[in-house]
Structure formats: C-alpha cells, structure tokens
Structure 1
C-alpha cells in the first residue's frame, strides 16, 4: 500500500514519519492532536503504508463510518477495499482491507475471541480523552494482551487534551510512552453568550441563538443538543426557515441521513447534532456553533438501582472543543446558551464514565477475560469497587457466572450477542418463552432510547409495527438482526403467548413493580426503589408493571417511570425466580415481638402469615431491638434494683473501671450480656416485664471487687444514735438524711469510696423536714447549729436542744421518752 501523493495538507502530516519511527522504537505512543488536525485519517493511512494491518477504534458508530469513508475517499476507493469498517449490525471489509475502523465495544468483543488480535500490527485508539467506558476497558485489555501475548502489538492513543501525560504513563508501564504533539490551524472564534430568559425552555433559547447565528455569520451552523428529543423540538421551532436546510445528526439515524449532514449541501445548513460532532467527526462548511451547554451521559444511581442517561452541564474542555468547530475554515462565531458568569463554574473535564456509569457490561467483559474484579489489569481509572461488586451481583442474578465467579456457558453466549447483559438475557430467555421475533422486537426497543414516545410499552410497540412512530425502519432492521442471532436456539421450541412484559422483566427483574396503594401512582420495585408514573399515563390502572425505563425524579425521593408494560404477579414470579424468597421475619413492632412469615419478590411483599414458632435466636434479637427502642424500662425495677443501679453509677463515676457503666445507653448496648439468661427464655414484652432487673444487674459486678460493694458504696450508715440510716444515691452525691438529735457527738463527716467522697448530711428537724445541709459537720456544729437551735427549740420543745451538741447524748426519742429509758436502766 502506498500513500496518495495528494494527501491534504493537515497539521499532522508533518509528523507521519516521526509517528511511525516512534512506534517502531517504543511500541506505544500518545499523539496529542486537536480535532481537525488529520489524526483520524492521515495517521492510519501512514501506519498501514509503512507496516501492516491497522485497526482504528472509535468511540461511536457514526464516527467509525465517517472515518472509514473519508480515508477511502482519500485513496479514491470505495469503502470496504483498502479501508473498511465494522460496527454493530454493519460491516464493510474485504480480503484487501488494510485499515479497519471499528467501535471500541466491538474491538473488545474481538479481543475476547482472539486475545492475540491475529494479523493486526497496530491499534489506534482514537479520542481517548472522551473517557468512554468501552474505550477505557479496551485500553486495559489491550495492555494486558500486549504484556502477555503480543509484545509486538503497537498501540497509538490519541488525545485532544492535556490529560495526555497520564495516558502516556498508563500506556508505557514502567517507562512512560513517548508523547507527540501537533496543533491544528484554527481561526479566531468570537464567543457570545445568549442566556435563556427566565422560564424559557432551552430549546427555545437554542432556536433563538440559531436564528441570530444565521443572520450574523456566513456558512453553516452546527448546533449542539443533548439528545434526539431536543433535536426534534428545535427542528420544529426552525421549521419556518425557507432558505436553510435543517438536518439532524446523531447515532440513531440511518447512514444515508447521517451522510447528508457530513457532506456540503447546495444551500446553507443548520446541523442539529448530539455529542457525536464534538471531536470525532468533521462537519464541513461550519462557520458558527450554537452550544446549548448540555450533554447526555450514562449515570448509575446506585442507591436506587436505576441506570440510564442523565442530562448534565458540559465541561469547560468540551465547551472549548464545540466552539472550536466554528474556526476550522475561517473566522467563526460561537453562541453559548448560558450566562457568561456561569462559564467559570463549569467542571474542567468530563467525568470518566467508569466512575459514574452502570458497570454491568464491563463486569461481563472482565468475567470473560478471567478477571471479574479487574485485578492485575492496568487502568486509566480503576473501576470503583462498590459499583463493580453491584454489577457482579446483577450478573449472578442473570446466570452469567457460578458461585465461584466462573463464566457459565450461558454467560459466554450472552457475551457473544454483543448486547448489555440484561438485554442479552432478555433476548435469549425471551426467545424461548415468546419466540425469537417477539423477543427481538422488545429488546430492539429497549436498546434504543429514542424510539418510545409513550410510557406504555405495548402502545409503543404497536406504533413501531405499523410504522407511525419515528425510527420505525431503524427499529425493524435491528429487530431482524437480533432475531437472526437467536433463531437457531429456538428451533422446535413452542413459544407461549407473546407478552412483552415478560421480556422486559427478564432484562430488569429488579424493576418489576407493584402499586403501593389502590389508586396511587407510586409503585414499589422489587429492587426496593419507589417510582412514580407520569401524570396521564395509560398505565394508571395497572396493579403490576414491568418497568423498562426509570430514572431519579429531580427533587423527589423516588424515581419516575418512563416506559413500562402491564403485567401480573404470576408473570413476575416466573420471570425473576432468583428474587423470590420466603423469610421468617421476627422483629419488634408496635411495642412487642411480631413474628411473621413473608413471601417476597425482592422488596415486594406477596403474602404473609403469622409465625407460630419463631426461632429462639430471632426472638432474642427482636427483644434486644425492643430494649434498644424502648429502653430498660421494659424490665421490672423494684426499689432494691433502683438503689443497686444508683450505687453502681456512683462507683463508676468516682472510681471508674472495673465498676460498670450503668447509664441507660450503656445498659442498652450491653443488654445481650447482662440479660443473657432472661433473654434465653423470654418470648414477648410481657416476659420482659417480669424480669428482676436487680438480679440481672448483679451480673455486671466486677469480681473480686464486688465483695467491697457494701464497703465502698454502703446501702446504710450507722449514726451516733445507733440507727442505721439508708444513703440516698439518686442525686449523684451520696446523701444521708438524719435528724439533728441523732447526730449529737458526731464530730467528723463520714466518707465513703475509700474515703474519697464525703457524705452530704441532710440534717432533719424532729418532724423530718430539712433543717440544714452540710458536708462539713464540724463547721455546722460551730456556726450552723446555734441558728438551727434558736429557730426550732420553741417549735419542738419536747426534743433536746443542748447548747453543746458535741457532748450531748445522741437520741431518737423525746426528752420524756429518753428519761423513761434511762430510769428503766
């Protein structure tokens, strides 16, 4: 193969020789080249001319087709001769093909089948900076294959951003791969912000900016929108333009319609494009760009178990790339549909899909590769552990791997289909249940988010079948392709009634949903997430749904159902047998132990009945939950138990360990230990109310220190009168309530806890009312007693009030009773 003599004079042309030499020397390299520099077209031609067969991996099907067409045109040949392409459902190659452009996902599948990539000399990974999930996975698998099987395989990764050094580190291993730079010839681009008016829909703002761009600039206008629905709405708003062709450009269009947008036309054009036109494609004739500032990206809501596409703000790098499209052929204009002051708040780069997207398909490929967790592979960004484990759990439910994590034959068949594992499972099992054609029609609808215009999946299918829905031809062609893939598997198998809900449920068993309450628009899905039907949905009377598409509703605690099919409990159980379980649920509810046997489909309750003989361990756990919920007041606390707890609390506060903490939080936490004996026999709340808390509490007493309990925190103290008075520990500090007359002759305040804590004396009148409070008895006799004596001797004349209490005889009796007692002696 020879390079044409009239190659376009693009910036990368001067580097072609250096690129080839660098790959010959290092085996891997990074080429930093902005869009429009020729890296996607000229470099593969040069590599194929110098060495051998080249495979170019593109992140999107549209870009793969366009790149192959452009290279073939440079050679003056039809696509499929020297330059060909392979994308899902479409392949144009021949024995003469030296350059094959493929999607990243398809090359992953090819690598799985042939890890040596037999016959391939160089792989060019285009647009690596976009950080698509398939591209990151492909890079990791290629590096692994190169390290173990194909050290001679050359890798060239291209990037349009300064993230190239990190890519070079990953690509080179121990020594970073060489980095080559080139720059595109770019003309100045004048940027204008056209912010939406208050409450103005973004489509209206984009249409307004597009009309302005047509009036203020020459040439074609490239408009960036997040998705197909927005493209349709903006096209409708521009339908009155009489001298301009308004053309859509997105990956779901038929190839003939895509080619219209990629070729110059006879009149000015407005090309309404998704992110496919950011960097992988060249749209000729563009002199103005209108950027809505939004992109649609894969997102996985791991908390709710919902995956799908989310509309997010673009990054600053993406906004710059989009604007740069206006400066390819001359000075251009860019119109940004957001306020100028918001531009500085944009994220610097796009978030890598591997951090945010559903990883189920990646997990399947890793399982096929023999490394389900990705261990041992070199990653640009390693898959997050939690999301990857969740994806592996999904594969288990779908039957992709066994308990040891090994790929099953069924899993291998699902991987070979090239679909998301959920859709592969739906196609395989659905074909056996409802027939290959019926299953393929539903899977083709589920795999194309631009087809359904109604929440009722049955209605969407009818419209596609009769050709009244947009994209009907595309859907029919994909259904034909899918049916052909599984037709041999269903030969001779009688199909049951063609129920689309069954196929949906096979793909998304955790999205089987049951209405929460009669008349409610909110459904509980088997995965535990609540989701709401949109108002006016034709499914409003359905008791059960098989939900095909749902996402998180902004500002709400549950999701929103966008596409679903009616179903019933019988089908739900049949479609998701691994999610059906019967669980004995023993818990604490409504103030008592409740034991119930529950039959569930995931989080959905199918039926329940009382459980007569719950397991003892389950009852014990329920009782402990009751104690954690309602506290130790569930037990019987008599006066002795309360006093024991107060004394222990005092010792723990004063002496610390080993005296136990008996505060409520501590007792609740350790209930399983000190109540073990009682919990072994209790069955309900009533049993707890008979538990002697004091007896159980004594199990917390430390040994051998327990023998000193009455010494350190005595229940009673002897006073001079001979009485043994009970100490009160309820206030924290120990209190001894004693009549003044019984304390005569007591010169020092008693102390407890090895003498560390003085007892607080509540000195009482003969009637038992507090007369004085002191922790310094000697001081009281000197200064406090004379005042107490003066106030109370007239009120209680029958009781002794000596002037010198230290020499007086302590007594519990009146004067007369004391004389009688002495006379009797």
Structure 2
C-alpha cells in the first residue's frame, strides 16, 4: 500500500523521522513494539503517517484527551496539505471528521475502547497506536488489556504500537509479549530550573501569576503555566489582567475554536493549561514554563460513597515533562511553585488503583470476563473497588447475580456514559422526557457547567443561553437525545410515551434524574440549625453558600467531596427533592425492619422504615424478637463491660480469688477476666445465657448477681472448693479472721504486727507462703515478708526499735514467738 507521504524525507526534520523505517519494520515483523520518545520528537504525528504505508487498513491512534486528538489530526492533515477529514481524520465524543478515504484516524482512548467492546475484531483496522501510555489513564489501561486479548483470539494479525514519552519500557514490552523497544532521543535545549514556592498564606493561583509575570520579564517568548483545573485557570487569568500579552486558557472543556487559539503560533502569549498540554500537544513559541506542581486526578471513597476529582502533587516524571516544554525550540526556563527539595513520586499513580471502577466493570461484563482474571494487565484492578463496581451494576440491573451481562446492561454500555448516568438517561427519559433527561445528564457529566450548588438554577441558565459553555452543552444534549432514538423498552415498565416535563416541574425533574444516577446520595436534613444532611449511603454532608437549598428537608446530591480531617462531607452540586421523589427513585433502598439495638446506654426496640441510612418513620416495638434483644444486650456488655451486672464487694473479691486459682492452678479453673466473661455471655449454651434470658433492658442486667454468674462459670464441684483452695479470710494468732487480698500477683495478708505474735511461721495458701504486709498499730505498713521465721530473727529487731519510738505505750516484746498476741491498741504490758 502506498505511503501517505511519497517521500518520508519531506516530513519535518524531527528526531523520530530518522527512525520511521526501523519503527515500521519492527512493528510489522513482530506484531507489537514499544516506542519510547520524549515530547517534541514527532512520534504522535509522523509515526502514524509512516505506518499507514506499511499496513492494510486504517491506522487508529488512541490519544488520552480530545484536545490532543484534534490537534494531532490537524497537524498531520496540514503536513499532507489537505483539510482534516480526508486521509487524516479524528473522532472524539460528540465530534468527528473522517471519510471513506481516511487512512489515519486519531481517537480518544475511551472512544476506541467503546469501539473495541462493540466490535472486538476491529474490522477495517490495520494497526493501533497507543499514544502517551505513561499517563496511565483508566480507559487506556483497559484498552491495552482488551487489545492484547483480541490479538490472542480474533485479531492475531493486528499490530499494536505502544508509544510513550517516559515509561518503564521493560514492563510494557513484557506485557506485549516481549515486544522490541525502539528508543528515540529528543533534541532539546537546556532548561534553567528555579523554585518559587508560595508565600505563607498565598494561594497557588497567586503564586503561578507571580511566576508568570517574572517569566515574562525574563524572556521574549511565550509562557505556559500548568494548573490543576479550570477553576484555578480562571482565577489565575483574573490575576494576570494587565499583563501586557494575551492570556489564553487551554483545557478539555473549551470549544475547538478556543483550543485552537491557544495552540496557534500567534505571537507572544501566556497559555494557562491543565494536564492536556503535558505531552502530546505542541504549544509553539514557548520559552518559559510555570508549574503549579499539582494535578487533578479521580479518587473514590467507597466507605463514604463519594468519588470525584482530587488535587495531588505531580510525579517527578510529569514535572520533568512539563519542564521540557520550555526547551523544545530554544533554551528556556521553568519556575516551579514548590520548595526545592520537595520529594515527588517517580511516576503518576495509575488511575486503575484509585478510580471508580463501575464503568470498567461494565466493559469487562460486555467483554465476557466479569472479574477480568482472563486478561493480561499492566496493573490488575483491585478486588475491592472492582467488586464495588459490580455491586453498583447489579443494583442498576446491568448484570445478573453471577456477573453476566443483562440486556439492560448491553443497552447501558452502548451509551458511552458512566453506567449511573446511562441509567439516569434511560430511566429519566421515561419520567421527564428524552430531551429534558439529556439536558440534565449533560450537566451531570460535565463539572465545568456548574458554578453554583443549585443544579436546577444552573440548568435554567443553560437553557436561557446565559452560560459561556452553552454551545458545548447543547451539542452534548443533541448527541444524548439521539442516543435515545429509536429505543426499545429495556424494563418491563418502560413506556414509549414522551412525558411532558412541565407536568413534573423543572426543579423536580432535575432531582429525579440526579436521584436515578445516585440514589445513595439522596439526603435528608438533620435536626438542628446547621444545614447538615444525611445521605442514604450513610455519609453526612454539609451545604453552604445556598440558603434556599440549605433550608430544604430533602436534597438529591449530585457531587459531594470530603476534605481529609473534616467532620462532614461537602455538597458541591444538588437539587431540591422531597420524600415522595426519594422513595420513587430509590425504591430499592426502602426497607422496613425491626431494629433492636443498644442505643444511648439501653436497649431500644423499634420498627423502622428506612431509605438506606435515612430513618423515615419509627415506632416502639412492644414484643421484640428475644434473639435480637439478646444481641443488643451483648452489644451493651461489649461496649460498657460487665460492670452493668450487680457487683457486691464480696463478688469482686470472689472474682479476684477465682483469678488467682486460674493463674496458679490453670485448668479446669477458668479465667474470669473481662474477655472471659464476655465470651461466656456470648455462648448461648453457656452458664450466663440462662441468667440473661429474662433480661430485656439495662435495669434487668443490673439485677443479675455477678457472684452467681462467677460460680456458674466455674461450675460444680469446683465451686465447692473455692474456700478450701483460696480462702477469703485467714485466722491469725489473736483469733481474728483477716481478709486475704487477691488483687495482685500473689495473695497478701495485711495484719498488725501485734496480732502475729506467737506465730513461728506464716500461713500458706495452696502450699505457697502468703505475703504478709505487717502493719503498725495505726495500720501503716511496717514490713513485708513471706518468711516470718527469718523475719523474727533479722527484720523484727529494727522494726521493733522504730515502732517502740513511735508507739511507746504499746508492748514490743523482744521474743515475738513466745509473746501473747493482742488486738488492743493501747498499752498492753504483762502484769
């Protein structure tokens, strides 16, 4: 097949041009290859043109972003001297230009993934180029795995070239079947790196604006500033008013004309860009880069049911790529808005490890491998998040309990939306009409269309044409509406009539569609002054800045996030709802149950109607299930301990005696520590079960005699030997019966010295001597011994001298072994 360009030498003198023959030979010979080429080498625009002359069929180039796909197509078409849509075309969501003559088509990774899932044999495709693999987007990683699977089955002849600026080439080559690696070095100019960390309390946008002004003063070229998102771009743009040069935004939500304006070589300017300008795009004339050092990436919090974009520091590889923009055409400068020496991770975190995997789970179900284990992965999807995604699909009716695809799941997959939004579009069309559902879903799918919390108000602005992105929104609405025609009912109750949205009310229609997409985010206001709402999923969220919504009892929350350390999540976008709507769209979350639980220190028995975690109604339960009552009492014991039982002083002493027997004699003497008593309480056949059987509330626990529980735990006949083996009291020479202290590691007998006169040796328990705490007449410690015979000889003389001086009216005999013991505290001298 003839090459698109008759003489490859006529192509721009970019570093990759010299390696084009090697790349095409390697790929066609081996069927797969890895191309490592830094930004600016020409890999995105020149390699596909060369491949088109070496393979039969169309060359598909997968780019990570729409703006990159369009820009690459325009650049390639200009090299051929023809408009886009002839031999070079592109296709992104909602926009495509191609024809029967198209030989090279640049598409987004997500769009190619949809095509591959729909037609695994990719008819008419002669080769696939996966550009910018290093960015590790979720769609791109899944696309790579599915392409490898297709090559092993339906398309063993399909060449796959994985191209990247910076990547662990060995790992990628192994994944592609020990594919050869072709490396192309970039021709770059030196870049001076300076650090410009934010001042104390300075926002990142102000720091970037300061860096841009400094860069403009040091170069006569253009400046690219990297910021994490659209909001930061807008604020930086405001801060740069009066900079003296045009300030142009560049991000994926702009119209094609606005993106082209930023990419066009139109003289000195400042381009404020998100990550779209990191790799596959060329911004001509750049001599300086200002890097905020931040990126916005998807994260999901499965426990709280919230997902969205979060701002994180960039990796070292990304920071280096951004800096390289300044040295493509001449020596340049990069100003980094973080402290020198700040540690960065080596590479970006793959999205598959952190993102919501519901859409990936649907693609796997369509592919026929719901758990994905049959595929080869760069990084396999984590089990927990993938299982959570499959659970969402089951709730939507997209997959059966065994994970296989349902007809409804097939319909959702064809829409090219997140399954939640696809469900909202399909079911919302039945309720509010196809056009209205498409209008609402288009807003939910594009976070830049909302600047306020109230979605109904934002939709009103769009419908009235009072929004800067109204053109993009209308195009998406038209696309989504077209997806619904013609449509067959995929639910038993799906009708064909087109409801009149006015009959439902515009605001309520928004809440209904939001609720269809996120039923677990339907929220009811908590009692109190602060606008805090409990979502059906169990997470509390706070709404601020919108008094009208804050005063409503019910919300349908579309977007919520949570700052680490914050008590509540934060509502970013929502619509006013009501209970009837919540029960309608989240019927699967409705449940009426008998709840018996330990609440606020006592058993609470009630019949509760809930919407997920939200209590709708409750009433006392007069005759609760005894098993539920028992479990609630056990919960109380676990939470507050066995101190809930009735403990007398004798019971506590008995517990200490039993603990001593368990410690010294072991089995069959059982332990009586807190964990032992709780374990006995949880045993339905144990000795404690019968004593708890009649308990219904905290007061009943307080009536349970702890001593009976302990004796029952020990059991007969051991209980009959407690006094023998661990006597509660010991008789001393005066005839007094003194309580033994078992609270320590060994038994202790605290006794006045005068009451031990006449003892030649101390008492023993279990064959071991008791530790005597010998006390003064005032009850203060005078000596400690477990060898009384030795004490009388060695220790007593000194103790006698001290006590005679302190208590002269008392009798302190020289020979305590023959002296008469006494309980008296006054003078006690022999007559």
TM superposition score normalised by structure 2 = 0.88
CA change 1:104–1:760 in 2 (3 A) is same
Cα RMSD for the two superposed structures: 3.4
Shift of 1:710: 4.5
For 1:30 and 1:761, the matched residues in 2 are separated by 83
Q: What whole-Å deviation, never above 9, does each CA across 1:666-687 have from its counterpart, x for those lacking one?
A: 4245432441221222212232
CA change 1:215–1:638 in 2 (3 A) is closer
For 1:254 and 1:672, the matched residues in 2 are separated by 65
Asked if structure 1 preserves the Cα contact closer than 8 Å seen for 2:751 and 2:772, the reply is no
Residue 248 of structure 2 is matched in structure 1 by 247
Asked if structure 1 preserves the Cα contact closer than 8 Å seen for 2:454 and 2:546, the reply is no
Counting only pairs closer than 5 Å after superposition, residues 805-820 of structure 1 correspond to structure 2 as: none
Residue 410 of structure 1 is matched in structure 2 by 408
- From 749, 770, 780, give the equivalent of 2:762: 749
Asked if structure 2 preserves the Cα contact closer than 8 Å seen for 1:300 and 1:357, the reply is yes
Residue 37 of structure 1 is matched in structure 2 by 41
CA change 1:116–1:636 in 2 (3 A) is same
For 2:463 and 2:315, the matched residues in 1 are separated by 40
For 1:227 and 1:478, the matched residues in 2 are separated by 21
For 1:412 and 1:655, the matched residues in 2 are separated by 69
Residue 71 of structure 1 is matched in structure 2 by 76
CA change 1:165–1:794 in 2 (3 A) is closer
Stretches of structure 1 that go unaligned for 5 or more consecutive residues are 814-825
Asked if structure 2 preserves the Cα contact closer than 8 Å seen for 1:455 and 1:537, the reply is no
For 2:301 and 2:343, the matched residues in 1 are separated by 24
SS at 1:150 equivalent: coil
For 1:143 and 1:19, the matched residues in 2 are separated by 20
CA change 1:26–1:724 in 2 (3 A) is farther
For 2:654 and 2:564, the matched residues in 1 are separated by 56
Residue 821 of structure 1 is matched in structure 2 by none
Question: Mean alpha-carbon deviation: is it higher for 756-765 or for 155-164?
Answer: 756-765
Residue 651 of structure 1 is matched in structure 2 by 661
Asked if structure 2 preserves the Cα contact closer than 8 Å seen for 1:632 and 1:667, the reply is yes
SS at 1:207 equivalent: helix
SS at 1:110 equivalent: helix
Counting only pairs closer than 5 Å after superposition, residues 201-220 of structure 1 correspond to structure 2 as: 201-220=203-222
Asked if structure 2 preserves the Cα contact closer than 8 Å seen for 1:658 and 1:702, the reply is no
Q: What whole-Å deviation, never above 9, does each CA across 1:278-312 have from its counterpart, x for those lacking one?
A: 11111223333333332222222334322112222
Stretches of structure 2 that go unaligned for 5 or more consecutive residues are 488-494, 825-831
Residue 186 of structure 2 is matched in structure 1 by 184
For 1:793 and 1:187, the matched residues in 2 are separated by 98
For 2:225 and 2:602, the matched residues in 1 are separated by 64
Counting only pairs closer than 5 Å after superposition, residues 321-720 of structure 1 correspond to structure 2 as: 321-336=321-336, 338-339=337-338, 341-342=339-340, 344-489=342-487, 491-495=496-500, 497=504, 498=506, 499-553=509-563, 556-638=566-648, 641-673=651-683, 674-701=687-714, 709-715=722-728
SS at 2:120 equivalent: coil
CA change 1:449–1:716 in 2 (3 A) is closer
Question: Mean alpha-carbon deviation: is it higher for 732-741 or for 569-578?
Answer: 732-741
SS at 1:539 equivalent: helix
SS at 2:220 equivalent: coil
Shift of 1:388: 2.3
- From 161, 165, 168, give the equivalent of 2:166: 161
For 2:807 and 2:270, the matched residues in 1 are separated by 110
Asked if structure 1 preserves the Cα contact closer than 8 Å seen for 2:291 and 2:335, the reply is yes
Shift of 1:802: 11
CA change 1:717–1:485 in 2 (3 A) is same
Residue 822 of structure 1 is matched in structure 2 by none
Shift of 1:426: 0.9
SS at 1:488 equivalent: coil
CA change 1:537–1:383 in 2 (3 A) is farther
Question: Mean alpha-carbon deviation: is it higher for 9-18 or for 70-79?
Answer: 70-79
Asked if structure 2 preserves the Cα contact closer than 8 Å seen for 1:52 and 1:98, the reply is no
For 2:782 and 2:268, the matched residues in 1 are separated by 105
For 1:808 and 1:253, the matched residues in 2 are separated by 106
Q: What whole-Å deviation, never above 9, does each CA across 1:113-134 have from its counterpart, x for those lacking one?
A: 1222233232111000011111
Tell whether 2:316 aligns with 1:304.
no
Shift of 1:417: 0.3
Residue 133 of structure 1 is matched in structure 2 by 138
SS at 1:574 equivalent: helix
Residue 229 of structure 1 is matched in structure 2 by 231
Residue 758 of structure 1 is matched in structure 2 by 770
Residue 103 of structure 2 is matched in structure 1 by 98
CA change 1:778–1:246 in 2 (3 A) is closer
Residue 56 of structure 2 is matched in structure 1 by 52
For 2:242 and 2:793, the matched residues in 1 are separated by 108
